[in-house]
Amino acid sequence: GDSVTQMEGPVTLSEEAFLTINCTYTATGYPSLFWYVQYPGEGLQLLLKATKADDKGSNKGFEATYRKETTSFHLEKGSVQVSDSAVYFCALNKQGDKLIFGTGTRLQVFP
């Protein structure tokens, strides 16, 4: 079945460091890909998304490019802030239906 694999966390960075969180997927057909973020004590919020190959999703300085050839959707940010500390979930769906999530990657940013 369809699945999402994320890098293990936690990822620990100093403020202003470059962030990459790896995400790869297995799916038949043409899934849409998403990054959701969960800040401490809060629910899941959509961070960014891409619906077809080579699309780039971006929001709040975060970016991810839908790479069909490598079945990847890695999350990047050029300069992280303490306020970016959260758990990041990569997810996919097809035809807009249920989301299939990865295990989540905790990011901790220190001043």
Partner 1 sequence: EPEVTQTPSHQVTQMGQEVILRCVPISNHLYFYWYRQILGQKVEFLVSFYNNEISEKSEIFDDQFSVERPDGSNFTLKIRSTKLEDSAMYFCASSPDLLPGNTIYFGEGSWLTVV
- Contacts with partner 1 by CB under 8 A lie at 30, 32, 36, 42-46, 49-51, 89, 91, 93-104
CB of 28 to partner 1, least distance (A): 14
Number of Cβ within a 10 Å radius of residue 38: 16
Q: Which is nearer to partner 1, 17 or 44 (CB)?
A: 44
Q: Which is nearer to partner 1, 41 or 111 (CB)?
A: 41
CB of 67 to partner 1, least distance (A): 16
Place of tokens 């300085």: 61
Alpha helices (runs of H) in the chain, residue ranges in sequence order: none
Those residues whose C-beta lies under 8 Å from the C-beta of residue 88, and which sit 6 or more positions away, are 6, 21, 35, 36, 37, 38, 47, 75, 104, 105, 106, 107
CB of 8 to partner 1, least distance (A): 12
